[in-house]
Amino acid sequence: MKFFIKKVQLLLCFALFATATAQETKDIDDLNFVFKAGAEGYKSFRIPALVVSKKGTLIAFAEGRVKHRGDHGDIDIVAKRSTDGGKTWSDLIKVRDDETRICGNPAPVVDQATGTIYLISCGSDGSEKQNMMGEKSREVYIQESKDDGKTWSDARRITEQVKKDTWGWFATGPCNAIQIQQGKYKGRFVVPSNISEMNEDGRPIYKGSCFYSDDKGKTWQIGSTSEDGANESTMAEVKPDLLVQNFRMQSRGKGKRAQRFSKDGGATWSELNHNPELFCCVCQGSILRDYSKPGLLYFSNPSQKGRQALTIKASEDGGQTWPFEIPVFDKHSAYSNLVVPAKGKVGVLFEAGPERLEIGIAFESFPKSAFKKKDKSQ
């Protein structure tokens, strides 16, 4: 019996050691690329978004950039599906193609009641500037899929409902929208966004925003905007009747992510505050609620200057502290979107490359046991 106990203890120690030593990130050639630059008719892919359908299918979205990797020009929204937890992916699905115009900033959300998948996105003719208003400014659209992401409806324009006439730049996400699962506002769709307004000098000032719907995207209301300096954002339900919106900061951040909170389902929000534990290298990030445990949140973004070292952090107290982390990829990495692909796992779709994101968008998943205590000396 003693021998058996010692053998079990040895095996447990080995398992813990294996978990601890599994923190080294993969080389670029070993990553599981979903979208790869130069393939399937596109010069590059950027701006990942990811959801898990009611059937457990992973649906990955991206901007397919036809001629170059820049933010303007001929850009489509494309998708791929995985029915085996992200190990293999379907052929490319063209979700939205508006000839040579821009289609971008995919922000998908799954209706947990019906299984219908909705995609909110932006579009323009590609000539817009950050402060442009009028007919050449950014438009906003919604589409839906009732067959688990295989086919998509035509895009319906919702610009007038979600964008004020005084706003110049407007962008959804980028990354998933949410459906509130608990509390008074259960069932509501909330879409993170960012906008620009003109200052006295005629220059655009970035602010965070959002919009929400209680009728599955038929009609929309605009939530309150944030203070100056906030930009691309991500959102999660912390607990019943409490949302958090987490921001990339263009200014005023001193290298830290900013956040604000809503107790009324996204209609009004608290003032911005900067989280001392979440580094901001002026890049998009992703926040996710894991409903398997109260207060469990994940957050991903590059953790070093220059968009390097994508990392997933975990909080067990609703985002007050972030003591656990998993290093994902230690080379050039940028935008990302988190999911819980299966019980006991966390997954991330992210931009990766040896430099300047020239390779593409990859997916990796990890057992939750791979999280380890963050080094306090960092």
Instruction: Indicate the average pLDDT of the chain.
Output: 89
Q: Please choose, from the candidates 237, 316, 322, 244, the residue with its C-alpha nearest in 3D space to the C-alpha of residue 279.
A: 322
CATH number of 2-373: 2.120.10.10
For residues 91-115, one letter each, b for 16 or more C-beta atoms within 10 angstroms of the residue's C-beta and e for the rest, the string is ebbebbebeebbbbbbbbbbbeeee
Helix then strand then coil, in percent of the chain rounded to 5, is 10, 45, 45
Q: Which residue has the tokens 């050639």?
A: 29
138 pLDDT above the threshold of 50: yes
pTM for the whole structure? 0.91
- Digit-coded pLDDT (tens) for 244-267: 999 999 866 668 999 999 999 999
Q: Please choose, from the candidates 260, 264, 368, the residue with its C-alpha nearest in 3D space to the C-alpha of residue 314.
A: 368
Among 237-246, 247-256, 357-366, top mean pLDDT goes to: 237-246
Q: Which residue has the tokens 């299984």?
A: 115
| Joined tokens for residue 304 | 């070093």
* Residue 125 confidence (pLDDT): 67
212 pLDDT above the threshold of 50: yes
- Digit-coded pLDDT (tens) for 1-47: 444 443 334 333 323 333 333 456 788 888 999 999 999 999 999 99
Domain spans of the chain? 2-373
Phi and psi at residue 152, in whole multiples of 5°?
A: -135, 145
- Asked if 128 and 136 count as a contact pair (C-beta separation under 8 A), the reply is yes
- What is the rounded average pLDDT of the residues 76-80? 98
* Residue 200 confidence (pLDDT): 82
351 pLDDT above the threshold of 90: yes
Q: How many Cα atoms within 13 Å fall on the side-chain side of residue 279?
A: 15
* C-alpha to C-alpha distance for 323 and 344, rounded to whole angstroms: 19
* C-alpha to C-alpha distance for 60 and 91, rounded to whole angstroms: 12
| Joined tokens for residue 148 | 């688990």
List alpha helices for the chain, DSSP H.
Answer: 2-21, 159-162
Tell how far CA 136 is from the center of its chain. 27
Question: What is the chain's length?
Answer: 378
370 pLDDT above the threshold of 90: yes
| Joined tokens for residue 238 | 């912390």
CA-based Rg of the chain, rounded to a whole angstrom?
A: 20
Q: Please choose, from the candidates 117, 131, 235, the residue with its C-alpha nearest in 3D space to the C-alpha of residue 178.
A: 235
Written as one letter, the residue type at 110 is: V
376 pLDDT above the threshold of 80: no
* Residues in a beta bridge with 190: 178, 212
Q: How many Cα atoms within 13 Å fall on the side-chain side of residue 334?
A: 19
- Asked if 310 and 353 count as a contact pair (C-beta separation under 8 A), the reply is no
- Asked if 131 and 203 count as a contact pair (C-beta separation under 8 A), the reply is yes
* Residue 10 confidence (pLDDT): 34
pLDDT above 90 coverage of the chain, percent: 73
Phi and psi at residue 137, in whole multiples of 5°?
A: -80, 175
Q: Strand, coil or helix: what is 368?
A: helix
* C-alpha to C-alpha distance for 131 and 126, rounded to whole angstroms: 13
* C-alpha to C-alpha distance for 331 and 202, rounded to whole angstroms: 38
* Residue 5 confidence (pLDDT): 41
- Digit-coded pLDDT (tens) for 338-349: 999 999 999 999
* Residue 126 confidence (pLDDT): 60
Range scoring the smallest mean pLDDT among 12-16, 92-96, 212-216, 289-293: 12-16
Phi and psi at residue 314, in whole multiples of 5°?
A: -130, 140
pLDDT range class, residue 377, cuts 50, 70, 90: low
- Digit-coded pLDDT (tens) for 46-69: 999 999 999 999 999 999 999 988
